[in-house]
Structure 1
Amino acid sequence: MTKSPLTLYLAAPRGFCAGVDRAIKIVEMAIEKWGAPVYVRHEIVHNRFVVDGLRAKGAVFVEELDDCPVDRPVIFSAHGVPKSVPNEAARRDMVYVDATCPLVSKVHVEAQRHADSGLQMIMIGHEGHPETIGTMGQLPDGEVLLVETVDDVASVRVRDPDRLAYVTQTTLSVDDTADIVAALRARFPAIIGPHKEDICYATTNRQEAVKAMAPRADAMLVVGAPNSSNSRRLVEVGARAGCPYAQLVQRADDIDWRALEGIGSIGITAGASAPETLVDEVIDAFRARFDVTVELVETATENVEFKVPRVLRQPA
């Protein structure tokens, strides 16, 4: 049976960012240094395939510090944690390694610097996301106010409209965030923003690649987890950029083939916590059903690398 031709547009950059790569290395190096089990507070990154792979090597994933024995190392996830978490680990004399992405840590430092100057913070982010919880937890209750939408800006109640600064979650939609920032500046002209954009380079680059790819594709798949903020934003960006159908899939088994009947082109990308092996799996699934021609849509090159903490580079 002759296979129908299909043009597969492959976004670049896609998949792992430097912060995710570093966090995974931290868990692997901790297991190598201290032996199993090593405890990890929350998913190290938002991807079940990655988490299951680390679990098989000896990582134990828990929700809170209280679930960890005091005599085994604990690692904090790439999304960052409130200050209370490392403080409690130190109080209990635990060995801990912070795998917070350095670009998230930059936002934490920024928030503290503004607070030290007497400014109240507004955070643009998603309520309940681990990164938002971690950033808001850098300061005392009430010092960081959360806004998720432009509408939230109109109703937020601040202590002093002339003494404000804002930070953002690093994995947001660039366009949505720009609209919220514009609303903040319109309502609070004196508000101070970050010296450099808080949305990380990887989030921005992946969204730009999707914007370039989406208008050319009949449909688009984003490989990523449903609890991955940056992956969900890629689906939204693709739809807004003109792609008629955009779907989030964790694995090739999740593809809705009926929704893709009759397509002549498909765009493929992956969120920052999705490994390339899952992208290959999806491409292979299309090759099994179509006569595939792959075209790379490259909008940026990435060569960022973050060092792991010194404690893991020292001998046991």
Structure 2
Amino acid sequence: MRQTRSAATTGGFYAFAAYLLWGLFPLYFLLLLPSTPWEVVAWRVLLSLVFCVVALSVTRGWGAFARIARQPRLLGWTAAAGILIFVNWTVYLVATLTGHVIEASLGYFINPIVTVLLGVLVLRERLRRAQWVAIAIAVVAVGVIIVGYGQVPWISLALAFSFGLYGLTKNRVGGTVDAVSGLTLETAWLTPVAAGMLIWVGTGSGLTLGTAGAAHAVLLLLAGVATAVPLLLFAAATRRAPLSLIGLLQFLTPILQFVTGAVILHEAMPTERWIGFGLVWVALVVLSIDSLRAARRTRAAGVGNDVAEIA
């Protein structure tokens, strides 16, 4: 029991650290200006691959990587995951570097609800009443933003669905692909695209690496580490902490992003945005309470089964 609690505590710490780093990403990426989103995402892909290659070498993970690489089904899933995370990274960087941090935060607030919805549409899962209520409230929230703000929150929806589908692809491979091997394959698939983007940027506006000062160059070169570390922390957390705890901690990321956009960057928050965000937060409260109750019932059922087996 003590080992289980210790593992859960450690997992909770890993999850908190991962979500904290993701929540602080807007401040980090803004330091990379005048780099364009296209240059940053390209370096992010290539340097993440370099980091993963080093990590595989240090941890002697090449054997596991080779076993995964020999399975076409897993290669297909990692290619799909790579495309989805590339879309997510690109949209997020465009949002952050063009003054739409609040809209990006809305995407990650909506993401848990999108994940539940994908479970119904793709995995044919059956939802509880409270989950349907949360989805309905979220749909109304998006409608309020569309009507009041005068445009569809494409950034929010693209982030929510790309990351939700990315999570779905990771779910399909389950524990057969470890975090480092998975990220290595995902970034390897994207390497030709990233290289092409650097050539395109270089022949257009010009690459900024090495032209905007030493501090900027160091920060840009750390993009791979900044990308990989929270992903590895998150992977470690999911193996130790209960999903109910991870589900609650995930709100730390969009909260920090929202505060960054509203308080630090002073992005506009008209009334219709407040109403839309308020409805999303209500939906998340409903979803969280329902998830905690479901987890409590599952634990109680497990204890009851253990007692019955002992008897």
Question: TM-score per shorter chain, which class?
Answer: under 0.3
Structure ranking higher in strand proportion = 1
More helix by share: 2
Tell me the TM-score normalized by structure 2.
0.25
